[in-house]
Structure 1
Amino acid sequence: MSAAQDMLIETNTCSPEQADEYRLCSLFDNSSARIAHVDLDLRLIGSNAGFADVFGLSVEELPGVALVDLVHARARDALTRRLLSLARGERSRISDLIATLTRSGRTSTELTGIAVTNGAGRIDSLVVLLELEPEPAASAAAPCPADVRKPLTRMEAMVLEGVAAGMSTVQLASKLFLSRGGVEYHVSALMKNLDAANRSELVSRAYSAGLFRMGSWPPLVTEGFVD
């Protein structure tokens, strides 16, 4: 029996008359785990603080967010297929090593999914557990992703957020109290940093590098990339 399955039957503070809720509360009460409750449309119902913190979010921000939006784009189709097979009852458990978009950038994550049945024995939701790969030894400064040459300044982060939201140079200049030339200077610096040829490629590369917090609109740059 896996550690995840062991946690499903631990004692906790939930009412023993509600067997399914009892098991879920056992998971959510385990502060050392990173756990989320997911509906059959693969959207988050809720999570514990450990799960939300991985993505730099609060537990209040996650309900309704599509689980696959929290993983790297290349991993989404395969993960969706495996989670749906779990929801259909074709599997009782899945475990995959995937790339997630955490608040510190991309990282490898062991994702375990478990089907949750109701009193009638039908699957009505899923529980997902994350186990992050060990972080590299700490250094004086956290390294940037390979596709970002150096950390962003606070102003560069705000300019990048505006460009990703579709704002024009004039709109950015007004919002950030810069001249048009000042906006273009920061945009040019960002394109050089991310090796982008134009604004569209800049935004694409920023998303690919995991610079933005997932599930947020307008786009917000993750604090870990701002110097």
Structure 2
Amino acid sequence: MVFDRVSVPVAVCDVYGAVQVANPAMAAECGTTPGRLRGRDVLELFRPQEATQVDRIAEALRLRHRSRYQVSVRWQAPGGAERYGELTADPVSDTVEDTPALLVMLRVLAEREAREQRPPQVAPIEARILALLAAGTTTAQAARETDLTVDGVNYHLRRLSSRWNAANRTELVARAYTLGVLAPGVWPPTPAPGNGSE
């Protein structure tokens, strides 16, 4: 079934939120198999962060509005870590008169616990750029120090920001220290052992 091959967590629910069918990716987020999700309430599996969001959606569905609805949710991953994401529900049916089913997709916003527990995968050049950034250098100065172009430095910073879900350079440097990429208590900043330092 094509549904099972989709890597995004997806489920089809009735109009009340009871899961009718779920793909393996959705079941994995709940630490179970797709068959065991059948009949479970999607809003008990993924707790809404704001109850008012759910109330507005329920009212819109009662009035047969056919919009895309989004709910910020949190849930406990199989390993015990709290995860955050966004459920998107699209009403779907063959005709406008039919009571719609809900096609529910989950977008995970937080990093997976396994990624947080593993040492971060950082190339020596990335660790060096992060150390230079922590020292207050500009992109142009970091480019000169690393024999890269400004575009090359920005490329590495974009990749790191995407991988660590960092909103800006300050957050990127803070995460580098938190994840052990940069050596704590050292000035000027240097990569921690095993992250590009000698």
Normalised by the size of structure 1, how large is the TM-score? 0.44
Normalised by the size of structure 2, how large is the TM-score? 0.49
Larger radius of gyration: 2
